[in-house]
Structure 1
Amino acid sequence: MLVFHLATRLVIIVALLIAAAISERTFPEVVLRWDGQWFERVATEGYPADLPIGLDGKVESNTTAFFPVFPLLVKGLMTLGMPFWLGSMIINLAASSAAVLLIVLVGSQYLDRHAAQLLGCVWTTFPLSSVLTTAYSEAVFGVVAAASLLFMLRRNWVLAGVAAALAGATRPTGIVFAGAVGLAALIAIAQRREWRSAIGAAIAPLGFLGTVLGTGLYAGRWDAWAVTERDGWHLKLNFGAGWLKWLDLSASTPVGYVHLVTATIVVVLLILTIIAIALRPPVPIIALMVVGAFVACAYDGVGMNAAPRNMMSMFPIFAPVAILLARCPAGVRWTVLGIGAVVSAVVGAAVFAFVPLPP
């Protein structure tokens, strides 16, 4: 399983190298494209003391939208003289490898051993899993999020809270994992009078709240993160209505096709979520998937491009695919996973080297 994950990373790196050569971009440019450039700015410049204001009077895009754990980890390697792009790849290789192992351990809490192992394999072959290699925070987020669920299921409440807090300081969607720990704590108190679970529940949201309040205090306004997301990244709640224009089967431009593919992936993920809930995993995991799907899909703006990646972080949604693969002959199983690895490499090469989306 871990060997398979490392093999998928190698396939993706080769695809990115080929894409870089064809697109006439350098390999570091490809690795840093889109969010990677912003994370590099967090590592090198930090957060703004004054939010940038455009001519229209609205806050412009800035680093406040990007949470600190991932860039700070890479900055640690930068102190050794390593460039950000290379440090990102090293951190993400270590983090994604650990995440796969933890995902398997989480799956083994409610799936059979074979399906739990395949859950990790399915996660690493998700079509957008190239972000586990490039300068994105999904790999680090995956390891702390999976750790929070594992500790929660094993009723190690303090560690569950700490891991969820780290998830909340890695990506805004980490607050969903804090909610899962909180719900598990409520159930533990109601059913077993397990009062120590309240400690983990109290710790869990601190990463998200600390990041939002900290960047707000530094910028001189408490709503710095929220207003940056709203004005700078055009993130607004529309309860999924924006997806209707992306599900346009007559798409005829490169961006239109990208939107159509993105919307199709999201629809498939929502179907998987429903099926995964029907498998009756522990209640906190059900809540995680429901709330996670809402957070991923209910917002318009740049959040729509991020929706599949956000749902990827709610890895229990892949349990139905893992169970199905576990019932297939070994040859079919590894053929499907191999094709998935190639598809994820091709998609990653296209997104990071060719797709004409604005950064």
Structure 2
Amino acid sequence: MAHRGLTPVRRWAHLPVVARIAAIYVASRLVTTGLLALAAALSGQASRFGADADVADFVLGWDAQWYWLVAVEGYPAELPLTEAGEVAENAWAFMPIYAYAARIVGLPLGSWGAGALLISLVAGYFACIALYRLLHDRLGSAAALWAVAFFASGPLAALFQVGYAEALFAMMLLFSVDAVQRRRYGILYLLIPLMAFTRPGILAFALFLGLHGIARWLRRGREPLPGRDIAHIIALGALATVTGFAWQVIAGIVTGDPGSYLATELAWRRAWGMGESGFVPFQGWIEASSFWFAHWGMPGHWGYVALALLVAGIAAALLFAPSVRRLGIDVRLWSASYLLYLLAVFFPQSSTFRLLMPLSPLWGAVVPRGRGYRIAVLVLCLLGQWVWILHVYALGNTFWQVP
């Protein structure tokens, strides 16, 4: 009753933060649903999904099929081989938590896909809450909410509505970075193992914890560093490192091949004509820089120059850009850790864009001051989302259209 005479803006300001985030998130999901429906209508015979595709097909498309296979059949005790005798693509590339959680949640709903969709939707909402918590103290409430809007509506927002583990991992990751930023280390003893068995990336978090510990040591004159915090940082770093390699060990024990996990990951890289020499850190990006420039009809060595400029530019932005610096040292250290991890272990291809979701805290760096500019950024986010959905779902039928 007291709010009846207020303007819409003031009514919005009087809503609890979780309600404002919910309104942003629901509106974003309705837009994404509309874009997915439009993509289904545009899907033709050349598309992976065919001319009679619907939104449910997209929910269960691409890698969602692998998670479903894990939930239904588990992991192979004997690695499948190609005709050339090399390890073929198989389920060991996909972590178990999302797959089995979707199976459990989907039981009363009647299908694995329904469970996967519900988990992604709910995890996406809580990821928005975690992002707001992470950015609020640095940016203020209004800017943090705009960052949430960009995150919920951005180019990768369809991942909140398909059978991929990204939303679940993002939720846990954002709460984890927020816990580190607030020096509430205890919850990480639960979150780190959960992240480690949801999707790859926990080794980047181990590096982040190491850099966080160094930063706190160097800043101990301005911020006390009690012994219990030192113990937590060391123990959690060790936990993240051990769990980061645990899946490789488990795969090796089950299959009897210690290199089974790496061979499985390289099977996807071989589809691009790479990976025959085995895994070498940083080699993927070096090879890819030449591969892509040659593919685009340019001299391959230009790719090396572009890669060097990209790395230098990102490093400079993380170190010196005022919009990034205001996010705080921990967001910057996490971003640097994850980017270094990607540089070390991945071969850049179409899925690389999806792998950028753990960098979502950086949405806070693109929140401009003026409302008009913020609306313009939001429009660009929605445009990027449509381009992504169109190419990987409505038109997805070739090697560079894999989400």
Name the TM tier (shorter chain).
0.7 to 0.9
Q: Which residue of 1 aligns with 2:7?
A: none
Q: Is the contact between residue 159 and residue 200 of structure 1 (CA under 8 Å) also seen in structure 2?
A: no
The 1:299/1:184 distance shift into structure 2, 3 A limit, reads closer
Q: Which residue of 1 aligns with 2:370?
A: 328
The 1:346/1:3 distance shift into structure 2, 3 A limit, reads farther
Q: Which residue of 2 aligns with 1:203?
A: 239
Q: 2:258 aligns with which of 203, 222, 227?
A: 222
Q: Which residue of 2 aligns with 1:156?
A: 184
Amino acid corresponding to residue 252 of structure 2 in structure 1: G
- Name the CA distance, whole Å, in 2 between partners of 1:119 and 1:247: 33
Q: Is the contact between residue 147 and residue 160 of structure 1 (CA under 8 Å) also seen in structure 2?
A: no
Q: Is the contact between residue 70 and residue 140 of structure 1 (CA under 8 Å) also seen in structure 2?
A: yes
Q: Is the contact between residue 87 and residue 267 of structure 2 (CA under 8 Å) also seen in structure 1?
A: yes
Q: Is the contact between residue 125 and residue 344 of structure 1 (CA under 8 Å) also seen in structure 2?
A: yes
CA-based RMSD: 2.9
The 1:109/1:184 distance shift into structure 2, 3 A limit, reads farther
Q: How does 1:110-121 map to 2 (within 5 A)?
A: 110-121=138-149
- Name the CA distance, whole Å, in 1 between partners of 2:339 and 2:312: 7
Q: Is the contact between residue 2 and residue 97 of structure 1 (CA under 8 Å) also seen in structure 2?
A: yes
Amino acid corresponding to residue 362 of structure 2 in structure 1: I
Q: Is the contact between residue 252 and residue 260 of structure 2 (CA under 8 Å) also seen in structure 1?
A: yes
Q: Which residue of 1 aligns with 2:16?
A: none
Q: How does 1:28-47 map to 2 (within 5 A)?
A: 28-47=56-75
Amino acid corresponding to residue 29 of structure 2 in structure 1: R
Q: 2:378 aligns with which of 312, 334, 337?
A: 337
Q: Is the contact between residue 39 and residue 389 of structure 2 (CA under 8 Å) also seen in structure 1?
A: no
2:39 counterpart of 1:19: yes
Q: Which runs of 5+ in 1 are unaligned?
A: 252-263
Q: Which moved more, 1:241-250 or 1:54-63?
A: 241-250
Q: Is the contact between residue 240 and residue 300 of structure 1 (CA under 8 Å) also seen in structure 2?
A: yes
Q: TM-score, normalised on structure 1?
A: 0.83
2:115 counterpart of 1:91: no
2:90 counterpart of 1:62: yes
Q: Which residue of 2 aligns with 1:246?
A: 292
Q: 2:333 aligns with which of 264, 287, 295?
A: 287
The 1:45/1:173 distance shift into structure 2, 3 A limit, reads same
- Name the CA distance, whole Å, in 2 between partners of 1:169 and 1:53: 25
Q: Which residue of 1 aligns with 2:397?
A: 356
Amino acid corresponding to residue 353 of structure 2 in structure 1: P
Q: Which moved more, 1:304-313 or 1:56-65?
A: 304-313
Q: Is the contact between residue 59 and residue 231 of structure 1 (CA under 8 Å) also seen in structure 2?
A: yes
Q: Which moved more, 1:142-151 or 1:224-233?
A: 224-233
Larger Rg: 2
Q: Which residue of 2 aligns with 1:306?
A: 351
Q: How does 1:119-268 map to 2 (within 5 A)?
A: 119-188=147-216, 191=220, 192=225, 193=227, 194-197=229-232, 198-234=234-270, 237-238=282-283, 240-241=285-286, 242-246=288-292
Q: Is the contact between residue 41 and residue 54 of structure 2 (CA under 8 Å) also seen in structure 1?
A: yes
Note the alpha carbon deviations across 1:73-120, whole angstroms, 9 max, x for none.
Answer: 101123225322222211111000000110111112433333322222
Bigger relative CO (Cα 8 Å, ≥ 6 apart): 1
Q: TM-score, normalised on structure 2?
A: 0.75
- Name the CA distance, whole Å, in 2 between partners of 1:187 and 1:336: 33
2:44 counterpart of 1:3: no
The 1:227/1:109 distance shift into structure 2, 3 A limit, reads farther
- Name the CA distance, whole Å, in 2 between partners of 1:249 and 1:232: 18
Q: 2:360 aligns with which of 298, 315, 318?
A: 315
- Name the CA distance, whole Å, in 1 between partners of 2:310 and 2:60: 28
Q: Which runs of 5+ in 2 are unaligned?
A: 1-20, 44-50, 298-305
How far is the alpha carbon of 1:15 from its aligned partner? 1.7
Aligned to 1:170, what secondary structure does the other structure show?
Answer: coil
Amino acid corresponding to residue 240 of structure 1 in structure 2: W
Q: Which residue of 1 aligns with 2:317?
A: 275
Amino acid corresponding to residue 230 of structure 2 in structure 1: W
Note the alpha carbon deviations across 1:130-171, whole angstroms, 9 max, x for none.
Answer: 122111111001001001101111112121243233222211
How far is the alpha carbon of 1:212 from its aligned partner? 2.5
Q: Which moved more, 1:28-37 or 1:284-293?
A: 284-293
Q: Is the contact between residue 148 and residue 162 of structure 1 (CA under 8 Å) also seen in structure 2?
A: no
Note the alpha carbon deviations across 1:16-51, whole angstroms, 9 max, x for none.
Answer: 123223322243222222111111111111111111
The 1:184/1:201 distance shift into structure 2, 3 A limit, reads same
Q: Is the contact between residue 164 and residue 178 of structure 1 (CA under 8 Å) also seen in structure 2?
A: no
The 1:308/1:217 distance shift into structure 2, 3 A limit, reads same
The 1:340/1:52 distance shift into structure 2, 3 A limit, reads same
Aligned to 1:195, what secondary structure does the other structure show?
Answer: helix
Amino acid corresponding to residue 288 of structure 1 in structure 2: W
Q: Is the contact between residue 215 and residue 224 of structure 1 (CA under 8 Å) also seen in structure 2?
A: yes
